[in-house]
Amino acid sequence: MRTMEFGGRLVEPDVRLLGDMESVIYDRKWLEQADPSMELYYMYRDLALSRRDRDTLLEHGLRYDITVIPPMRLGCEYVKTAGHYHPPVPGTTLSYPELYEVLSGEAVYLLQRPKDSHYDVVEDVIVVEAGAGDKVLIPPNYGHITINRSRKTLRMANLVSRDFSSNYEPIREHHGGAYYLTERGFVRNESYTRVPPIRHCPPTNTSLAHLSKQREIYALLRTPEVLGYLTRPQEYTELFERLFSGCP
């Protein structure tokens, strides 16, 4: 277990083991021989550098986390997170968004929007490749998976509402996301009834969301009102419609 210092205190991570993710691994032959206690990545949750920042996060219903994903392959597939969806904001049909930032290393974000709550039909798949400093804002109603395809350790941060629990079951039931990223490239997951081609989009380093590659998302805690789109997405529909509208 890897201890991290943050805000003057030592933080122990939640550790995602291979055994936690057996149902979403592509290379089943490799999985038969693999050790289920193998550590895949580390999640440091609910962090703050100061009491003032902690109060700001609590007041605005937000949580700041850091995830560390060492480079490795799961057979022929690159290491990834388990993947999850978010529930809808109460009284709306829009799920809670999430804001990611690559602190170091490289990330491939796979976003997928299902047609309905059965999750069998995927209407949109977006892949965003991001490097250090890049921001990726996950729109409402998209499930998402993070992949480390590089030979470097990926360190990424996220800001998200603290008022819900993620839903891992739909991706687990479909044995992974709409696509797997392997040594041969992206491979479609046949467990879904319908999956569209991938749209490749750039990171969302956009002033529309008060984001910049040069400014860490933690600094936005100085002006937390600009992060309203994370807790009240129904008030920011134009922003989310424009985020990935220009991708082929």
DSSP-based three-state secondary structure for 245 = coil
When divided into structural domains, the chain yields a total of 1
Residue range of the domain that includes 195: 4-243
Residue 7's φ and ψ, nearest 5 degrees, are: 65, 30
To the question of pTM greater than 0.85 for the whole model, the response is: yes
CA distance 104 to 134: 10
User: What's the CA gap between 9 and 11, in Å, rounded?
Assistant: 6
Tell me if 125 is assigned to some domain: yes
The reply to whether 197 falls in a domain is yes
Residue 133 in domain: yes
Is 199 within a domain?
yes
Low-confidence ranges of the chain (pLDDT < 70): 1
CATH code of 48's domain = 2.60.120.10
Cα separation of 193 and 16, whole Å? 28
Residue at 248 is within a domain: no
Q: Looking at residue 1, what is its pLDDT?
A: 58
Residues 6+ apart with CB under 8 A from 246: none
Neighbour-count burial of 39, counting CB atoms closer than 10 A to its CB (0-12 exposed, 13-18 middle, 19+ buried): middle
Q: CB atoms < 10 A from the CB of 171, how many?
A: 25
Q: What are phi and psi of 175, to 5 degrees?
A: 60, 35
